[in-house]
Structure 1
Amino acid sequence: MNRRRVTVAAAAAGVVAGVVGMGVLAMPAGAGPAPVLPAIEPQALVESVLTAKPAAFGGSVDVDNDLGLPGLPGVPAQLTDGDSGLRVWSDGTGKFRVQAPSGDSDKTFVDDGSTAWLWNSAEKTVARFPHGPGEKPEVKDGAVDPVTVAREVVTRVEEFSTVSVDGTARVADRAAYELVLTPKPTEKTVLREVRIAVDAELRLPLRIAVYTNGTNEPAARIGFSQLSVGAQDPALFAFTPPAGAKIVNEADGPSEEEKDKAREALDGVQPVVIGDGWDTVVGTRVRFDKLGELQDEATEKHGKPEGLEGNPQDLLKRLGKPVSGAWGNGVLITTKVGSALVADDGRVVAGAVPEQVLFEAIGQVK
């Protein structure tokens, strides 16, 4: 568990992240005439994506979400609606860099192969994540790239999908196959399909888009708008904390007091996974009074972000609508790619599923 502030925004973002599920997804610009490529079997394309040798590259990534959530101050735009962009670089051996601008500030993530760094220019803080060679650091606030997102999606839902290759495309001036994962008829989900453009040469995912039932426009998209394949400047994968920056060693972990407060806020309940594949629902329980106490502590230290007045339950009510059932009363937060149900007693379930599935699943959260 990483050290981090807990605010109303963080609480809301956690619920929204559950709603989104595969949410931070996008498709870039840069289309052109469909290239002519050799035919390939769907399963062979899937295997090539999962086993492709890492490549060195640098490029621009566009994120464009239309999830149907209102924008809230303090909640990342990628979790609601709107456009944003990233710059990403990889040396092909495990070193990585991502820059995510946000207004007048930015976050920069650098993994030099043995230590990952997350620089927040707005707060003048650097989080440090040491890790062993070949290991991936657990960074809760890092940016994502199309390659990582697409591979995770394929791994999680391939077994529960019909997989096909639907022609070809040109993305970021590179020839690509269009890989499509469609839920099997037995799956209960609001998602219609996930489309992944796979680089014909390198087998890198270049773009990924999520489509929901009843619309032809993707609800969530991520992908390269510009891509340069080949060796990158080694200096990109080195990081020196800026002068005056506050450094937090994430390997130290939270204090015992922070652990106790987090356990209290989660009411001592471990998250449970209900169902599988596209139907997966994640459930837990929170204590709103403890979240309120953590909010007050964060406000005292850092001030309250404008627009986030009120307690956690008030903020959730601004995001959703009141509902009730045999399970009790609560708030239903609905997006185009899924929903979250937050009961008044603190039980929470979320997934890319219709609300009735959540009503049934919440009874399994103790």
Structure 2
Amino acid sequence: MAPNDSAETGGGTRGTAAGRRKAARYIVPVAVAGVAAATIGLVPALASTGDPDLPKITAQELIERIAASDTERLSGTVRISTDLGIPSLGGLADAFVQGGGAGRGGASADPQERMTELASGTHTLRVAADGPGKQRLSILDNASEYSLIRNGDEVWAYDSGSDQAYHATADGSARGSGEKSAHPAPDGAPATPKELAEQLLETAGPTTSVTVDGTARVAGRDAYKLVVKPKQGGSTIGSATVAVDAENGVPLKFTLLASAGGKPVVDAGFTKVDFAKPDASLFTFTPPKGTEVTEADDAKAQREQGGGPDGKGLDKGLDGLFPGADQLGAGDGGAEDTKIIGEGWNAIAEISTPGGTGLPAEASDEMPAEAQQFLDSLGDKVTGKFGSGTVFKTRLVNALLTDDGKVYVGAVTKDALVEAANNAS
């Protein structure tokens, strides 16, 4: 087994992630959650058959190996599991969507909506990649399959259960010039260990400790275990472990633990992986006869209208729950109505909601009864110099919404949020 080697995430380590933005480092908990979060444990299928005996390597060298990995071809099966400690939504989504069909607004193949399924529960995925222009990800269900396919400038998504498809065209010349495409490929939740590991390492700063903690066998491959932990106390994040392929530097497994203990908050890893060139047929798609196809522009317009035929859809429901919710993910923390308190793993974003309004006092058109019950199951009433408010809790990210419309959010404890609100008063 490789001995424990540590590295500060100082100048040398940060140099392996050229171009990372300073603001992103300050909101690392939000980035990890967007795994959370936004933000994913593996079952015994990934159990080790004996830790391999590998040459010693330092944390610095292992991070550099990940950054230098040029592996662009692979295929395999991934198991991904997420436990944020959020109660079951039950019929909550339907309360937000008036006739939209489980929050999908009639466009169940839209990746912007379907990829959020990875934010809870356990899923089996099939993934394949042949360079930056050809990728495929399929979410397997008991009786259906949802696939997201990219082949050059063409992006297709298909839901076999509903026989619906989504189509987008990316402007290759715009992508190549660095300009934003009129029809960019849809962004989805991080779904592979590599994507999750890259998000974590991109945002690691001087408040982070990185060590090599032995070796493992993942999907039949020898791997080193890279452990990332906050140096500060008070974070809800305990550690993140990345199993890195010893041969090619590809992350094979990602595990995120909460500081309070318990099973992993996010755990994603290959159960099977092959680095040979995938079959070209995996990246071609023609809608079956009778498939309902939604174009990207139409799906976007439908979401902007609220998801339902009468305009009272998911967007309005979310805004009823959290006034100004559409502002929470915008930008990188530099918006005029957003201020970052602290840094690193203890960073807290202070956000001013439009109009300075808090939650509705009681169930109403903006706050359906189902939504009120859901919020009550998550929230704790708190008071302080700032006045009063409600803290909404998950195992990873907590948020304080004051009655005067301020939001304090971060991967920190409830007490830390209350202290931040008091200090800001």
Same fold? TM cut 0.5: yes
The alpha-carbon deviation at position 71 of structure 1 amounts to 1.8
The superposition leaves residues 187-213 of structure 1 with CA deviations (integer Å, 9 ceiling, x where unpaired) of 541212111000011101111111222
The verdict on how the C-alpha distance between 1:353 and 1:128 changes in structure 2, with shifts beyond 3 A counting, is same
Moved more, 348-357 or 278-287: 278-287
Are 1:278 and 2:317 an aligned pair?
A: no
Could you tell me which amino acid in structure 2 is paired with residue 236 of structure 1?
A: L
1:146-188 alpha-carbon deviations (Å, 9 max, x no partner): 1111111111125431111111100011000000111123x54
Matches within 5 A, 1:25-64: 25=40, 27=42, 29-30=45-46, 31-64=48-81
Is residue 118–residue 142 contact of structure 1 (8 Å, CA) maintained in 2? no
Pairing partner for 1:320 from 359, 379, 394: 379
How far, CA to CA, are the matches of 2:207 and 2:294 in structure 1? 43
- Does residue 1:198 correspond to 2:244, yes or no? yes
Judge conservation of contact 1:176–1:199 (CA < 8 Å) in 2: yes
Residue 181 in 1 paired to residue 228 in 2?
yes
User: Which of the pair has more CA radius of gyration?
Assistant: 2
Q: Deviations over 1:93-127 (max 9, x none)?
A: 44211111345444321121323333344552415
1:151 matched to 2:204? The reply is no
Deviations 1:53-88 (A, max 9, x none): 1331111111223332212235956434x3222111
Q: In structure 1, which of residues 109, 119, 126 is the aligned counterpart of residue 166 of structure 2? A: 126
Match in the other structure for 1:95: 134
Verify the 8 A CA contact 1:100 1:108 in the aligned structure 2. yes
In structure 2, relative to structure 1, the CA distance for the partners of 1:121 and 1:193 (3 Å cut) is same
Structure 1 residue identity aligned to 2:74: F
Are the counterparts in 1 of residues 80 and 191 from structure 2 also a CA contact under 8 Å? no
State how far apart, in whole Å, the 1-side matches of 2:326 and 2:220 are: 51
Secondary structure of 1:315 counterpart: helix
Specify whether residues 63 and 37 from structure 1 end up closer, same or farther in structure 2 by C-alpha distance, changes over 3 A only: same
CA distance in 2, matches of 1:126, 1:173: 36
Which ranges of structure 2 fall in alignment gaps of 5 or more residues? 1-29, 94-102, 104-115, 307-311, 331-337
Is 2:153 aligned against 1:114?
Answer: yes
Deviation at 1:18, TM superposition (A): 8.5
CA distance in 1, matches of 2:365, 2:253: 38
Q: Distance in 1 between matches of 2:303 and 2:265?
A: 41
1:64-75 matches, within 5 Å, as 64-73=81-90, 74=93
Tell me how far 1:131 sits from its aligned partner. 4.5
Conserved 8 A contact 2:155-2:185: no
Structure 2 vs 1, CA of residues 36 and 196 (structure 1 numbering), >3 Å: closer, same or farther? same
Aligned partners of 2:370, 2:166: CA distance in 1, in Å? 29
**Aligned equivalents of 1:18 and 1:184: distance in 2?**
17
Residue in structure 2 matching 1:83, options 105, 122, 128? 122
Residues 142, 178 of structure 1: alpha-carbon distance in 2 compared, 3 angstrom cutoff: closer
| 1:221 positional shift | 0.9
Q: Distance in 2 between matches of 1:127 and 1:362?
A: 45
Report the secondary structure of 1:321's partner residue: strand
Q: Tell me the CA shift for residue 321 of structure 1.
A: 3.0
Pairwise CA distance, 1:34: 0.7
Distance in structure 1 (CA, Å) of the matches to 2:226 and 2:339: 27
- 1:93/1:139 CA distance change after superposition, 3 Å: closer
Alpha-carbon distance between aligned partners in 1 of 2:282 and 2:350, rounded to the nearest angstrom: 39
Change (3 A) 1:121 1:165: same
Contact 2:118 2:191 in 1 (8 A): no
1:266 aligned partner: 324
In 1, the alpha carbon distance for the partners of 2:231 and 2:137 equals: 35
Bigger mean CA deviation after superposition, 250-259 or 356-365: 250-259
Secondary structure at the aligned position of 2:278 is classed as coil
Matched, 1:212 2:227: no
Shift of residue 220, structure 1, vs aligned partner: 2.1
Q: Which position in structure 1 is the counterpart of 2:25?
A: none
Shift of 1:312: 4.5
Out of 341-350 and 150-159, give the one that drifted further. Answer: 341-350
- 1:206-265, Cα deviation, whole Å (9 max, x unpaired): 111112224364332111111122110111112333443232224995489759x97986
SS at match of 1:198: strand
State the SS of the aligned residue for 1:335: coil
Aligned-pair RMSD on alpha carbons? 3.9
Percent identity, aligned pairs only, is: 29
SS at match of 1:147: helix
Show the counterpart of 2:397: 338
Letter in 1 for 2:227: V
Distance apart, 1:331 and its partner CA:
2.9
State the secondary structure of the residue aligned to 2:407.
Answer: strand
Segment drifting more, 145-154 vs 271-280: 271-280
Question: Residues 195, 267 of structure 1: CA spacing in aligned structure 2 closer, same or farther, 3 A cutoff?
Answer: closer
